Structure 1
Amino acid sequence: MDENEQCYLADFGTAKETYLNSTVVGTFPLAPEIQPNSLYDGTAADIYSFGIFLYEMLPKPHYDLPSIASTAKNMSQPLVNQTKRLPSTFIEENVSITCIEHLSNELLYEVFDYLDGCEIYRVFCNLNSRFQYLITCLSFLLKIKIRPRTQSELMQSYENIILPNRHRLLSLSFEETKVINDFFENCILDSSFNRLQSIVLKDVEAHNSLFVFSCLKLLPHLVSLTMSMTIPWFYNLNHIYRTILSFPALKYNKLSLPPISQCNNPNIFIPVTINEKLNTIEYLVIDHHCAFFELYSLIYHTPQLRYLICRRILKRSDRLANEKPIMLPNLTHISIDICVKSPDHLGLFMTKLFAPVQALRIKYHRNTDHLDDNGWEQLIRTNLPYLRRFHYENHQCFSRYEENDFDYTKINQFTSSFWVKRQWYGKLVLNMHNICDCCSIFSHDSAWFIVSKHPEIVSYSNKNNIIMSNSQPMNNFSTQFVPPIVFRSNDNPTKRENQFFLDKFKSAFVDIHFTHLNINCKNICINMLLKIIQLLPYLNSLKVSALPIIQLDLLFSNHGKILSSTLINNKITEVSLENVNHIEQVYFILYLCHRMQYFQLDVPKDIDLNVLVRFILKESAINTRSLNSLYLSIPNANEYMIDQLQKLITSEKLLLNFNIKCICNNIFVKCC
């Protein structure tokens, strides 16, 4: 910027990387002090460079690759007009300290949306007339988190901010018991807070809850109430839920009790009254112990219910059988955790619902009574005809010396045409350290590999980050799906613990033809991985979350025999490798999975992309001649990387016919 406040831009203002794992490149005018060979002069140069960044990001257009190349070429040429030059020093008086004023009102309101309302008032109230107008505008609604250090500070916030702006208050949040008690004892919430829609209360004391509810009930537009409570062991929740159901506009309610203080007998029963006012709750989260009958009693009074979440069904109850069915025409999502070993009360509960349920999640804790294909199939066909997403979990935990009588082969029942047609698959999760396992059934959107409708389209799995392209159309999908198996290890198991684990689950490996393996080998030795793969001869896909450091000379000298025997029956064709630290880990996978067709890996920042791709393609030509698809997950993947890889593969004839493309942060190389 010159003395006439005219700005001249000669460069981006800093060095830039052309692609990862390569030399940092840039042009000479990195900062103004460089041209006269001056030393770095501190804040002045930083602000100057920061201004260049802003100018480049905001008013300048984004260029494609040819434009960038052309720009770089032009910038390397000398300036024709020598009258416009970068100043050698920073002109401090030209810097405006009120540049925040240049932001639009819309952008400022977006920033305010992330800030606490009280803090906004304290910082911006008396700054200038513009901000005074912005924060007092009727259309600007306040979200306030009440976190005072003293009672006097609480009263100041209430009298100076909350009460004068009660007609603009959108939400209130309380995070401490003492703050809640002080507020409701000294402050008033009534119908004048006519735009207050959401309240969060953390750790409400049981003896004070009804008084708090009596205040909240006066709010005419309260639509969301989230509350956690501390209660005695035998506290009765009946009165609390009766009050909640009487709120005039409530649509979302969540009540949580800490597990260590769960009331053993909540005794929730809401009788039907004549001319009962319809409840407006659409989202109900019951985060405490209850029985199926108590759950039934609650939802009987919520005819507009859409989402139901019940975290802990802990008690048995036989009263449900005599109740009549409930019509809930809007209920589409149900999630229930069951912590009691009991007869099929879940099935009975579902028969009492006439609702178009589309998504169902059931989680059993230490319960073996309900992993039955025929029972679930009959329940779904009869009572859940609209079900599209189904997630079932059955968790078992036992010590190393405890007898495990769980029948893992039951998971094979879920491979019939009924489940395959709906793309609901089984999965077994084994924890090698705590000896905890989980059998689950999950919908196709949680699957490891998603079959795409067209061979050239890549499908994404959001939950497991596996990317795959396959030529088999989804609408013709009829292949029987065999369940995957997942291994987890939290600590470094000893050789004896590894052998114990293999002995305990060997029969399950033999009886169930697992096709997919997900394993984290960070704390598992290579020998253990090879033994596990040997016990799973039907594997066709492998996901390795991490591998230990591998020394190739020691690998073949110490594990050569078991490695050779593993190669003989290895049928793995799809592999995903994450958290790569050394290229030796890639070599191990290429050598181990010699029938591999699909290979996905996360490219680390400290490995040159060209070197890595050259290594994979050359080694695959020797060890895995069937490799035809390579998927590279790279932060900031771009077209320049594609261009460099294409030149590399073509010039060195690593592949003859191939397609290469970049989608998001993934580069795909596929043989034609």
Structure 2
Amino acid sequence: MSNIEYSQVGFMTNQIRGKLYKLSSLNNAFLFIIIQIATYDDKKMITSLENLSNDLLYEIFDYLDGGEIYKAFSNLNRCFQTLITSPSLLLNIDLRLQSENLSHYRSTCIVTPNRHRITSLSFSHGSLYQSGLAFCNIDALFIRLESLILDNIKSQQLLPLLARLISLPRLFSLSIYYSDHRSEITNIYQASFNLPVLTHYKLQCSSLESSIPLLTTGKHKFSSIRYLVVGHCCSLDDLIAIVSCTPQLSRLTCHEVNRSRTDIAKHVYNTIMSLTKIFITRCYAEFNEMETFLTKIASQVKVLHWNCFRDVTYLDATRWERIISKNLLHLNLFKFQFSINIDENPNSTGSHENRIDFNSLFWTKRIRDFRIYLDIDSLQKNIIVVSVNSFRVGIMLNEIQITCLNIMRRNILVETLVNLVKSLPNLRVLIILSLLLKDLKYSNLKKTTNFHLASTQNQITKINLKDINSLNELEILLDLCPHIEYLEVNSNNTVPPETIVRFILIEKAKSISNLSLICLQIPLENVDIVNKLKNILEIEQSFYNVTIKQNSDKIYLRLNSL
């Protein structure tokens, strides 16, 4: 043991926070914490842990499981034996994923004698049997227990346990991962809602069915829950019944919401004034039903994340505008996603895309940092995903214009791109990963009113095409954006750079007279490309005087009109 003055130790404890290293010994299963500190003469040394203050040791122990603390420091010496048995040291115990012998030891030798010092306890169906932890042992003696996690618990174990938890004075958080009869979910909710000080509650089960008998309003006491996670499928009327039991609810997360089994328009609702954040992972309920839920129950919401399916009326921007401006007056973050099944014929999506019209004054004046994404799902090629992502909704003094559209997923439909360009007239920059033509008759598309309006009204001057598969894609972009000044294309073996240059400078030059700079990203092995391009420009008759420069894998062509 190092001989260190007490005053030195006090100085050094202020220097070592953030320099803790936890090592597990493979030989003796003890946990060692090695702390490297500096003395006054700047020499490095290692001191023994018992020289550190109790406050710092408690801070270290906060990072460790209670069982690991006992394993590492029990009977090590008198100092640590006194420390780990002190009422001031609170324990976090996790009995999950333990061997039978270890689970039994920790239950009988650590949990039972230290019930009054445990603040967090986690166990599973298997650990109950391995440890011999009886339900009667989880009682009012757990006076410090604040968080309880029950993993893979059966109803015959869970319901008696929930009844005993009522006696716990500080149980604020309860997470249940349930794997038994769905018919008991109603009883589980009712028993959980009886817990007197519960504020965080999560019930998760693997059921794929929404026809689960849940609560009916008016037959139970109100819960103190503020943060609720409904981690299973349920119908919208079931969800309404659940949140009606939680008048202090602040944040709601739901795994999956399906259509109501009853006519919810006939129900009487109480607005939950404290409900400010809603996150719905998968919503299959109709827009009419969800509008009722938002406007009747959650009108105070500030943050809304919503992933919807099937009902295309969710794409009605005018309806969203009316709901937000008249009923959701406190909304300041709106994140909405809708997934559509599409046929092989790309024209089948036209009616859906025409609904995506976020070009009113509401969206341009009241939405700060507003974004729209259209993605083709990478796993299911027949799914198109429409994402509307807006941050900080609120009245603004000056109009915010959407000037840059970055489409990050592959193979966006050309019709979709045209509709987006038409709906966002202030665009200056367009970045696309790749276009999807799909037997498109371009001559017919070019004659449509949509294409004419989009091409004549947009102000796009910069285009970046990340992946080109044919010259048709480039032709469409140049016709759609005739005011282009800067073009960047990632060329490849399918469409080599010399083909791109010949097409732009010889065939399309008259229609894109503002183009002044082309950037071609090329394969590094293509070392002779500059000479090839110069030869092309010397042989072919061009409308430009072209200066060519290469920088690593990029070639820049500056165009000056003759």
- The alpha-carbon deviation at position 147 of structure 1 amounts to 3.1
Q: AA paired with 1:390?
A: F
Show the counterpart of 2:202: 254
Determine if contact 1:235/1:265 at 8 Å carries over to the other structure. no
Show the counterpart of 1:191: 140
- The alpha-carbon deviation at position 139 of structure 1 amounts to 2.8
Aligned ranges for residues 573-652 of structure 1 at < 5 Å? 623=558
1:272 aligns with 2:218: yes
- 2:212 and 2:357 map into 1 onto residues whose CA distance is 38
Determine if contact 1:125/1:132 at 8 Å carries over to the other structure. yes
The count of aligned residue pairs is 460
Aligned ranges for residues 171-570 of structure 1 at < 5 Å? 171-174=120-123, 176-180=124-128, 182=130, 186=134, 188-232=137-181, 235-258=183-206, 261-273=207-219, 277-340=221-284, 342=286, 344-353=288-297, 355-398=299-342, 400=344, 404-405=348-349, 407-410=351-354, 412-423=356-367, 425-431=370-376, 433=378, 434-435=380-381, 436-444=383-391, 477-481=398-402, 484=405, 486-489=407-410, 501=411, 505-513=413-421, 515=427, 526-528=467-469, 535-536=476-477, 537=480, 555-562=496-503
- 1:476 and 1:391 map into 2 onto residues whose CA distance is 23
- 1:104 and 1:519 map into 2 onto residues whose CA distance is 59
- The alpha-carbon deviation at position 219 of structure 1 amounts to 2.1
Name the SS of the counterpart of 1:362 in structure 2. strand
Q: Which runs of 5+ in 1 are unaligned?
A: 1-49, 61-93, 447-473, 490-500, 574-579, 592-613, 626-672
Change (3 A) 1:526 1:484: closer
Q: AA paired with 2:212?
A: P
1:121 to 54, 70, 75: 70
Q: AA paired with 1:204?
A: I
- The alpha-carbon deviation at position 191 of structure 1 amounts to 0.6
Determine if contact 1:423/1:444 at 8 Å carries over to the other structure. yes
Q: AA paired with 1:431?
A: I
- 1:310 and 1:172 map into 2 onto residues whose CA distance is 25
Change (3 A) 1:483 1:308: farther
- 1:570 and 1:180 map into 2 onto residues whose CA distance is 77
Name the SS of the counterpart of 2:314 in structure 1. coil
- The alpha-carbon deviation at position 304 of structure 1 amounts to 0.9
Name the SS of the counterpart of 2:468 in structure 1. helix
- 2:97 and 2:37 map into 1 onto residues whose CA distance is 38
- 1:254 and 1:302 map into 2 onto residues whose CA distance is 13
Determine if contact 1:428/1:483 at 8 Å carries over to the other structure. no
Name the structure with the higher strand share.
2
- 2:508 and 2:277 map into 1 onto residues whose CA distance is 45
- The alpha-carbon deviation at position 335 of structure 1 amounts to 1.7
Determine if contact 2:176/2:204 at 8 Å carries over to the other structure. yes
- The alpha-carbon deviation at position 207 of structure 1 amounts to 4.2
Name the SS of the counterpart of 2:407 in structure 1. strand
Determine if contact 2:491/2:497 at 8 Å carries over to the other structure. no
Change (3 A) 1:520 1:182: farther
Determine if contact 1:431/1:487 at 8 Å carries over to the other structure. no
1:154 aligns with 2:95: no
Identity %, equivalent residues: 25
- The alpha-carbon deviation at position 262 of structure 1 amounts to 2.7
Determine if contact 1:222/1:249 at 8 Å carries over to the other structure. yes
- 2:270 and 2:41 map into 1 onto residues whose CA distance is 60
Q: Please report the RMSD computed on the Cα atoms of aligned residues, expressed in angstroms.
A: 4.6
Name the SS of the counterpart of 1:178 in structure 2. helix
Aligned ranges for residues 26-45 of structure 1 at < 5 Å? none
- 1:533 and 1:181 map into 2 onto residues whose CA distance is 67
TM-score when scaled to structure 2?
A: 0.68
- The alpha-carbon deviation at position 171 of structure 1 amounts to 0.6
- 1:110 and 1:364 map into 2 onto residues whose CA distance is 45
TM-score when scaled to structure 1?
A: 0.58
- 1:481 and 1:169 map into 2 onto residues whose CA distance is 54
Q: AA paired with 2:75?
A: N
